[in-house]
């Protein structure tokens, strides 16, 4: 990787600037940006509405959310496309909204259309002449009219019913489910509804996960050799500081020169560094096993969220830069982060990796978007993880193949896979072989527009594989990159002493217990010997 780019290369940024505004569509930016509305029937529909907002982030246009009541009060003609989410909870409002939308000359997609009372539990779906198994998907019944074009059919093995159909500029999906395989069908059909077809090709990545100062340098070298042999670019998610939970002892990357050397080798061999938090833990938890930017115990955003996130991003970036490692994107630890957190991250990074937390209500609501998209509220460009993280367990490769098969439903789906450093190299080889099932353009972030910005440094790609790094404040960078002081708080010291005291007490009890068993056994043997001696004497 070259740090200094050529002047001629930088002229190309002028040509790719427009592509950065909307890099997913392959369509030139137009003077008039389409406006999309997603309207939901009650508060329970908000989560699905947010999921739809994320799906729409793949397309050129601005997306807005509103309730049915708000939509009835306003003029829907200001939008170019409307999605209706119907959970069948208010029939009166449903009829009013239907009548209003009938008079609009714009495409309308009604999700949850049909009659609930005549629904079937589908066992298979057909789309583009391919059949896909499902596990009892509820599909509402809808009569097929003469002008209807059935795009997807559902069957329970006995009866069949349309799942998705089109009638001129009205589109209907006879299910309220927008996740799983129906979510993939929806993601593909949106290309046709919005008349933004996109090329039928697939990008993807393999992201080496959970790399921190305690990771085996030898294992990192071995992983790198696999990618070199296969001639595949890859990503490496790095956490610069490891924290021991009981003592709050910190280990920074700069204290592990062998790991740093292995990471530099990865970076120089086609690997792109992704910042995976500063410590990948929160409060008194272990690195790699916990959230960092979400309070999982209380299920809410962390305290002092803005200042904590900024401080940790500055430190994480500075530590890596000082070591010659250049983070070109960000992955929230375990994907958990508030909506405000995403906005903060967007002031530092242009690229986000992983899955999206849907709302600030709970970290349990994550969404794996099937393609590259723009996170509307922050402007971050998301490269999603969609294939999971196969481990060394039986059936993982088969599951990976099933996920690949389903992702083929979407014409330009993205194949994002994780590989943990504690998994075997054979598994990595098998996973790569599985991905060869479909032609994949492996992602190299440097061959596209990206930026990383802090108050002390700016970094950008020229779009041709080179980075330009400008250090504007070396003193500030050095200050942030300095290894943080040991956390010797009263609580951590007390925890340390208490832990070892308990360990000593337990050890003493174990020794006493073993001694007691030994003594008891000796007494038992002595008693048996005495009894046998008396018995022999009596017989004589």
Is the pLDDT reported for residue 392 higher than 90?
no
Query: What pLDDT, on a 0 to 100 scale, did the predictor assign at position 335?
Result: 95
How much is the average pLDDT of 270-294?
89
Is the pLDDT reported for residue 134 higher than 90?
yes
Q: By three-state DSSP, how is residue 473 classified?
A: coil
Phi, psi of 518 (to 5 degrees): -65, -45
Query: In the structure encoding, which two tokens stand for residue 520, read together?
Result: 């008891």
Is the pLDDT reported for residue 148 higher than 60?
yes
Lowest mean pLDDT among 68-72, 133-137, 172-176, 489-493: 489-493
How much is the average pLDDT of 264-283?
95
> What is the CA 199 to chain-centroid distance, rounded?
24
Query: In the structure encoding, which two tokens stand for residue 383, read together?
Result: 């490269």
Secondary element (H or E) of residue 227: helix 217-230
Query: What pLDDT, on a 0 to 100 scale, did the predictor assign at position 536?
Result: 47
Higher pLDDT, 537 or 92: 92
Query: In the structure encoding, which two tokens stand for residue 463, read together?
Result: 């779009």
Is the pLDDT reported for residue 528 higher than 70?
no
Cα distance between residue 72 and residue 196, in whole Å: 28
Write down the H helix ranges in 392-489. 396-407, 425-435, 474-481
Counts of helices then strands in the chain (DSSP H, E)? 13, 25
Residue 439: exposure state from Cβ atoms within 10 A (0-12, 13-18, ≥19) = exposed
Percent of the chain residues topping a pLDDT of 90: 71
Query: What pLDDT, on a 0 to 100 scale, did the predictor assign at position 499?
Result: 53
Cα distance between residue 325 and residue 334, in whole Å: 22
* Predicted TM-score of the model (pTM): 0.84
List, for residues 31-58, the tens digit of each pLDDT value. Answer: 478 999 999 998 778 999 999 999 999 9
How much is the average pLDDT of 121-138?
96
Look-up of token digits 């596209």: 448
Is the pLDDT reported for residue 25 higher than 60?
no
Secondary element (H or E) of residue 102: helix 91-102
Is the pLDDT reported for residue 248 higher than 90?
no
Lowest mean pLDDT among 64-78, 313-327, 453-467, 520-534: 520-534
Residue 99: exposure state from Cβ atoms within 10 A (0-12, 13-18, ≥19) = exposed
Query: In the structure encoding, which two tokens stand for residue 396, read together?
Result: 């993982």
Cα distance between residue 197 and residue 161, in whole Å: 27
């Amino acid at each position: 990787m070259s740090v200094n780019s050529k002047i001629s290369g930088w002229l190309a940024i002028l040509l790719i600037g427009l592509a950065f505004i909307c890099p997913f569509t392959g369509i030139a930016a137009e003077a008039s940006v389409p406006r999309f509305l997603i309207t939901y029937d009650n508060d329970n529909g908000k989560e699905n509405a947010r999921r739809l907002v994320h799906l729409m982030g793949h397309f050129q246009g601005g997306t807005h959310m509103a309730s049915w009541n708000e939509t009835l009060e306003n003029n829907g003609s200001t939008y170019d496309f409307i999605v209706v989410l119907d959970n069948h909870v208010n029939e009166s409002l449903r009829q009013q909204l239907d009548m209003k939308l009938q008079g609009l000359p714009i495409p309308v997609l009604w999700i949850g259309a049909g009659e609930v009372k005549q629904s079937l539990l589908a066992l298979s779906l057909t789309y583009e002449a391919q059949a896909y198994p499902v596990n009892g998907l509820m599909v509402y019944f809808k009569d097929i009219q003469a002008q209807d074009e059935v795009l997807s059919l559902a069957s329970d093995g006995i009866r069949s019913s349309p799942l998705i159909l089109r009638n001129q500029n009205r589109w209907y999906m006879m299910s309220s489910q927008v996740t799983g395989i129906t979510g993939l069908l929806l993601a593909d059909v949106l290309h046709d509804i919005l008349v933004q077809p996109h090329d039928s090709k697939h990008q993807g990545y393999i992201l080496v996960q959970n790399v921190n100062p305690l990771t085996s340098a030898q294992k990192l070298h071995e992983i790198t050799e696999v990618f070199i042999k296969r001639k595949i670019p890859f990503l490496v998610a790095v956490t610069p500081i490891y924290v021991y939970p009981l003592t709050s002892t910190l280990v920074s990357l700069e204290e592990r020169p062998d790991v740093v050397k292995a990471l530099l080798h990865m970076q120089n061999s086609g690997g792109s560094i992704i910042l995976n938090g500063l410590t990948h833990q929160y409060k008194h938890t272990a690195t790699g096993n916990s959230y960092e930017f979400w309070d999982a115990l209380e299920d809410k955003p962390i305290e002092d969220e803005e200042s904590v996130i900024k401080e940790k991003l500055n430190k994480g970036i500075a530590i890596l830069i000082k070591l010659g490692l250049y983070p070109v994107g960000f992955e929230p630890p375990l994907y958990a982060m508030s909506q405000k957190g995403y906005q903060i991250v967007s002031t530092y990074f242009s690229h986000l990796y992983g899955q999206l937390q849907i709302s600030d209500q709970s970290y349990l609501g994550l969404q794996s978007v099937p393609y590259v998209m723009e996170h509307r509220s922050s402007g971050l460009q998301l490269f999603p993880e969609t294939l999971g993280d196969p481990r060394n367990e039986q059936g993982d490769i088969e599951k990976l193949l099933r996920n690949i098969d389903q992702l083929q439903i979407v014409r330009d789906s993205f194949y994002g896979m994780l590989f943990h450093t504690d998994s075997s190299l054979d598994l990595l080889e098998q996973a790569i072989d599985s991905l060869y099932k479909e032609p994949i353009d492996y992602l190299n972030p440097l061959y596209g527009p990206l930026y990383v910005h802090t108050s002390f440094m700016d970094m950008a790609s020229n779009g041709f594989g080179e980075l330009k790094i400008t250090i504007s404040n070396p003193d500030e960078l050095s200050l942030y990159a300095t290894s943080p002081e040991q956390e010797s708080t009263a609580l951590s010291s007390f925890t340390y002493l208490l832990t070892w005291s308990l360990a000593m007490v337990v050890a003493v009890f174990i020794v006493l217990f073993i001694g007691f068993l030994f003594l008891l056994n000796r007494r038992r043997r002595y008693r048996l010997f005495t009894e046998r001696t008396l018995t022999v004497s009596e017989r004589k």
